[in-house]
Structure 1
């Protein structure tokens, strides 16, 4: 049991906003220094001095990165960078995206490929397994989408809600959690995608086609509708990579 004296001797935990802010500064710092997997990070003391925070805040921020398998502590040696591509968690990619750390070109291509795999399989399973309440959920979301299109609003959050509801119709909750992580990771970019108001009506029409195919229990038609939808989105991502390679 911890005594009151022991509790008084413990350093206070860093506030959540301070910790998140520090992580948001640490990741670009690592990227700027071009540290490679296996490279040693500066010590806690050095990082605390560089960022003007206490060592406790640094320790907690590093603990978060360690939990996400982005760094590792080696006893009596220090803190080392892991290979995020090979050893990091999907949550690590979500965190990087939320903090504005861009994905590498290879990662963007792999995310696009993974989305196609997940969404195609998801919509086929949904067409085979859907229940009445799944279709009702999709209809509610589609009604909201039609309203947003009429108002000229950004469809980013609606788009995610529709696709997640489609995966929910598979009945596979682990699948839903994985796809949810993907949509969290791509949220900022999705807002930019739908900033072009011309994309909203077409996207909504494609969602309706997917819903109708799933409601009819037709996996092939559902896959075809999803394939057309993904082709539009993938074209955007590939054009984005071209602009990045040109330095636009």
Structure 2
């Protein structure tokens, strides 16, 4: 049961929360309508306090909420900057949720399975719809991947670039942003994996199999090669959790 002090504080807290809600809605409407253009400064903190009839704490809470949704860019000692909502902002707003997913093996596996599902479809799509310039980009990415086999750090970069071609080939502007997000979210797991030129060679051969199936217009083969490749890669990722959980000698 709430004591008298709690009951006195609740209306104040509720009023502040509602004031912050109203302020967030008002500024969001200004940004999405274009009245507050992308890259323009929000009014100074004191001006916002006067405009919305709120205290400094409410203004700061509202700005923090807008920043978490990618609608403003907020830095200490600088006026917040309006940001037109886009795909990068939308995915950036998911970072907190994804961070929780990545805290254990089950969460990483769920995110990884989503990538597998998507890339299997992209490989199939590429085998059916890839244009000459897509095939050329895929060949170039594969050649760079092969050249990087002796250098594991460079090999990782060319591995990412090879998979990026599959996302580009679909010609959907959402997909390259999704690939960028997957790379950022899952890269800590890749960094923990043991690396060697021998393992890089195995991954390159998998990439080559995917590439050849796409060139030969074999959607079943392309999807199968992609799924086999990522299934094998998951075993390496899973091993990073086992090494962290192993008791010290």
TM-score, length-scaled by structure 2: 0.59
**What is the SS of the residue equivalent to 2:157?**
helix
Task: Please state how far the C-alpha of 1:219 moved relative to its aligned partner.
Answer: 0.5
Matched, 1:10 2:44: yes
Task: Tell me if structure 1 keeps the 8 A contact 2:101–2:107.
Answer: no
Task: Tell me if structure 2 keeps the 8 A contact 1:154–1:195.
Answer: no
The residue that corresponds to 2:183 in the other structure is 183
193-202 or 108-117, which deviates more: 193-202
102-111 or 199-208, which deviates more: 102-111
Counterpart of 1:65 (choices 54, 64, 68) is: 68
Task: Please state how far the C-alpha of 1:144 moved relative to its aligned partner.
Answer: 1.3
Task: Tell me if structure 2 keeps the 8 A contact 1:141–1:161.
Answer: yes
Cα RMSD (Å):
3.4
Where does the alignment leave 5 or more consecutive residues of structure 2 unmatched? Answer: 1-40, 47-55, 72-89
Matched, 1:237 2:237: yes
Task: Tell me if structure 2 keeps the 8 A contact 1:94–1:184.
Answer: no
Task: Tell me if structure 1 keeps the 8 A contact 2:193–2:240.
Answer: no
Task: Please state how far the C-alpha of 1:102 moved relative to its aligned partner.
Answer: 4.6
Listed one character per residue, the Cα deviations across residues 10-34 of structure 1 (whole Å, up to 9, x for unaligned) are: 369xxxxxxxxxxxxxxxxxxxxxx
Return the alpha-carbon distance in structure 1 between the equivalents of residues 143 and 96 of structure 2. Answer: 32
Return the alpha-carbon distance in structure 2 between the equivalents of residues 134 and 171 of structure 1. Answer: 10
Task: Tell me if structure 2 keeps the 8 A contact 1:154–1:197.
Answer: no
167-176 or 99-108, which deviates more: 99-108
Return the alpha-carbon distance in structure 1 between the equivalents of residues 136 and 110 of structure 2. Answer: 33
The residue that corresponds to 1:223 in the other structure is 223
- Rg: which structure is higher? 2
Matched, 1:173 2:173: yes
* Matched positions, count: 180
Where does the alignment leave 5 or more consecutive residues of structure 1 unmatched? Answer: 1-6, 13-43, 46-54, 69-88
183-192 or 230-239, which deviates more: 183-192
- Relative to structure 1, the CA distance from residue 104 to residue 151 in structure 2 (aligned partners, 3 Å threshold; closer, same or farther) is closer
**What is the SS of the residue equivalent to 2:111?**
helix
Task: Tell me if structure 1 keeps the 8 A contact 2:209–2:225.
Answer: yes
211-220 or 107-116, which deviates more: 107-116
Q: Counterparts in 2 of 1:142-221, with a 5 A limit? A: 142-151=142-151, 153-193=153-193, 195-221=195-221
- Relative to structure 1, the CA distance from residue 203 to residue 95 in structure 2 (aligned partners, 3 Å threshold; closer, same or farther) is farther
Task: Please state how far the C-alpha of 1:162 moved relative to its aligned partner.
Answer: 0.6
Return the alpha-carbon distance in structure 2 between the equivalents of residues 151 and 240 of structure 1. Answer: 21
TM-score, length-scaled by structure 1: 0.60
